[in-house]
Amino acid sequence: MFTFTRIDLEKDRYVTYIAIAHLDSGHVEEVTRGGPDSCPRWRPDGEAVTFVSRRGFGEGERGSSLYMVTLGKSLEPVEIARFPQGITAYEWSPTGERIAVVERVVKDEDVKRIERIPVWFNGEGFVYNRCRHLALLDPWSGETYRLTEGCPDVVSFVWSPDGRRIAFLATDRDRPPRTRLYIANVNGDIEEVELPRPLMGIDLVWSLDGETLAIIARPLDTPRGLAANNRVWLLDLGSWRLECLTPTLDRNVVNTVGSDSRGKHCSRLIAWSAKHGVIFLVSDSGRTKLFNVRLGKEPKALVELDGMSIDEFSTPPSGNYIVFTAMSSTRPNELYAFLGRGEVKQITYMNRWLDRYEITKPRHLTFTASDGATVEGWVLPPPHMEEGSKVPWVLYIHGGPKMMFGEGFMFEFHLLAAKGFAVAYCNPRGSDGYGEEFADIRGRYGERDYQDIIEFLDHVTKNFDFVDPERVGVAGGSYAGFMTNWIITHTDRFRAAVTQRSISYWISKYGTTDIGFYFNADMIGCGEPPWRNPKVYIEKSPLIRANKVRTPTLVIHSMEDYRCWLDQALLFFTALKLNGVDARLVIFPREGHDLSRSGKPKHRVERLREIVTWFEKHLKR
């Protein structure tokens, strides 16, 4: 079962279809006819499907409902429960008697009386008054019973194989981003498990015998800080012994390949099967691969595809097959099945419509940086070039910085290529997929990462004769917005820049955003807040050098971006204008940090139009 999403531009909305694919024949059968639906789940008896939907909720409402469709009968969905503030996750119990949900509970108030941080969170708005409770739902009566008390912040949960217990991770309100582990009995008793190390957990799974838990988490007590990789940990529920299953795997156990063409992810990040043991995704050199590991053995790649990146996966407890989605730099996600012994079968062909267009393949490259490190990159040429001609081009930078470019479909890149631009992009220092040492630029933003990008610029200019060295732009968002700002305050080599959801002043970002108070302290302040180490926060802020900018700059930001708040754009834009720079500020209302990936369709189109227009104005003259 899977979802596929299309855009209804006229109504400015996304339409998602839930469908069932038959692994043997590839036949696709629609379960719903399209709507604001997501996260389908099989009822354990296989005779019905449940899903989350916003049917019946208005544009400004946060609520959602659970619906059920009985297969073989009328496909008209039946609402089984309604949640005024919505749910963030749900799972059927193995017995099919109950559904566990993470329910959002918000105390609305006109005047905000705030006593904890973060005040707000990207994509959610104010969260100081928000709790995420674990609750049990009777799917037949629609009644819910809340398991957690107080105001918890449940991140992820999993049922035990016998359906009697639920293990869940919740953010430590006093020490975010640390998470704590709890085990709840369905009768309401909850026990906290005292872990021997501080972890930032993101998902977990129960062993088939119910005696251990496997947890994906980043250790928070290593010298690498937030540059450390997520690892797989095994917790013995008898002895409470915690053991790392991936100590020698110097790669991140999570998917960090960039793409602007994904739907909503609802699959688990980790699974446990009889055939393959613990299964998880690993980001490696521009691709995400499917790995597995067993106790006492080394982790190994279970499924890796040439020129493709695995995005999500699911498997039954037997592990007889694994279904997954995968994309490439030239195709969005399709559904595949791993049938064992190296056999992979493509199940869906939802993107055949792209065959009508000439989609060019990026040209892969590596170069040796001045300090001896190998840096990976790509150059996407436009589909039509005259022999011997030179085209304008744009150097793109990825966010994170612990993310990576690679085999991820980027519509934005192909749009620019179709408009006659080449697009170049690389994974400089700070990127994921090449080990913790490569990724660790904490306290050194704008140093080795900046050098890698400029040396990549030199390499492309020297080795790709179709790019015009005099007509090159630079663009990026989030960390890449910081880097775009940093670049244009340090060099005039770029004829135009587009900085998006950017960072210009680290001190204000520390206290105005959802993760700034711990992210900035670790990544910029070397573990210290700005009042203890103001010098580094100021030195790493592009705003301080705004008087050096000569590059025409388009500044794009969202009004409700709580990851990099609007003040970052306003500060930088104001400084540019006061220093006589050709600058333009575009603000998108009712959008957050993820505008380029999941914003309202018309806003996404308008954003792309602004970018193309800016580069055509400044690079095609």
Q: Residue holding tokens 């003040």?
A: 567
pLDDT, tens only, 72-103 = 877 789 999 999 999 999 999 999 999 999 99
What is the number of residues in the chain? Answer: 621
In this prediction, residue 175 carries a pLDDT of: 87
What is the distance between the alpha carbons of residues 375 and 366, in angstroms, rounded to a whole number?
Answer: 6
Q: Phi-psi category of 484—alpha, beta or left, where left has phi over 0 and alpha has psi -120 to 50? A: alpha
Amino acid (1-letter code) at residue 426: C
- What average pLDDT does this structure show over 469-490? 99
Residue 338 amino acid letter: F
How much is the average pLDDT of 289-306?
96
Class of domain 195-356: mainly beta
Contact between 15 and 38 under an 8 Å Cβ cutoff? The reply is: no
What is the model's pLDDT at position 17? Answer: 93
Is the pLDDT at 331 greater than 80, yes or no?
A: yes
Separation in Å, CA 127 to CA 9, 115, 180, 260, 518? 31, 11, 19, 26, 17
DSSP tally for the chain: helices H, then strands E: 10, 37
Helical packing angle, 601-619 and 411-418, nearest 10°: 40
Phi-psi label, residue 452: left if phi above 0, alpha if psi -120 to 50, beta otherwise = alpha
565, 509 Cβ separation under 8 angstroms: yes
Average pLDDT over residues 242-264: 96
Tokens matching residue 248 = 């020698």
Render pLDDT for 439-459 as a digit per residue (tens, 0 to 9): 999 999 999 999 999 999 999
Average pLDDT of 45-73?
91
Distance CA 253, CA 437 (A): 16
- 467-477 and 496-500: which strand pairing? parallel
What is the DSSP secondary structure assignment for residue 252, as one 8-state letter?
B
Could you tell me the residue ranges of all domains in the chain? 195-356, 357-505+541-619
166 in Cβ contact with 158 (< 8 Å): yes
How many Cα atoms are found within 13 Å in the side-chain-facing hemisphere of 275?
13
Query: Which of these, 500, 479, 487, lies nearest to 457 by C-alpha position?
Result: 487
Q: Which residue, among 80, 198, 180, has the nearest Cα to 134 in the 3D structure?
A: 180
pLDDT score for 496 = 99
For residue 20, name the pLDDT band (cuts at 50, 70, 90): very high
In the predicted model, what is the mean pLDDT of residues 11-32? 92
What is the end-to-end Cα distance of the chain in Å, rounded? Answer: 50
DSSP H or E run through 324: strand 322-327
**Side chain identity at 436, as an amino acid letter?**
E
Q: Is 47 a residue whose pLDDT tops 90?
A: yes
**AA letter at 451:** Q
- Which residues does 60 contact at the CB level (< 8 Å), separation at least 6? none
Q: What is the mean pLDDT of the chain?
A: 96
Q: Tell me: pLDDT of 60 over 80.
A: no
Residue 79 CB neighbour total at 10 angstroms: 13
Specify the pLDDT at position 265: 87
Please identify every residue annotated as catalytic: 478, 593
pLDDT of residue 26: 86
Confidence band for 58, pLDDT divided at 50, 70 and 90: confident
> If you average pLDDT over residues 364-389, what whole number do you get?
96
The torsion angle over the Cα atoms of residues 559, 564, 565 and 569, rounded to 10 degrees, is -80
For residues 218 and 199, is the Cβ–Cβ distance under 8 A? yes
Give the pLDDT score at 351.
95
Across 461-490, average pLDDT: 98
d(CA 267, CA 441): 31
CA 48 and chain centroid, separation: 30
Cα distances (Å, whole numbers) of residue 129 to 106, 119, 126, 145: 6, 8, 7, 21
Q: Residue 267 to residues 109, 207, 310, 346, 604: CA-CA distances in angstroms?
A: 34, 18, 13, 19, 25
| Residue 236 contacts residue 295 (beta carbons within 8 Å) | no
Give the contacts of 580 (CB within 8 A, at least 6 positions apart).
none
Tokens of 280: 């998880």
In this model, does residue 378 exceed pLDDT 90?
yes
Cα-trace Rg, the chain: 24
Question: What is the average per-residue pLDDT within 309-331?
Answer: 97
Long-range pairs for 32-37 at CB < 8 Å and ≥24 separation? 32/69, 32/75, 32/77, 33/75, 34/6, 37/3, 37/67
Question: pLDDT at position 598, please?
Answer: 96
Q: Which fold has domain 357-505+541-619?
A: Rossmann fold (3.40.50)
User: Tens of pLDDT along 123-166?
Assistant: 999 999 999 999 999 999 999 999 999 989 999 999 999 999 99
pTM over 0.95: yes
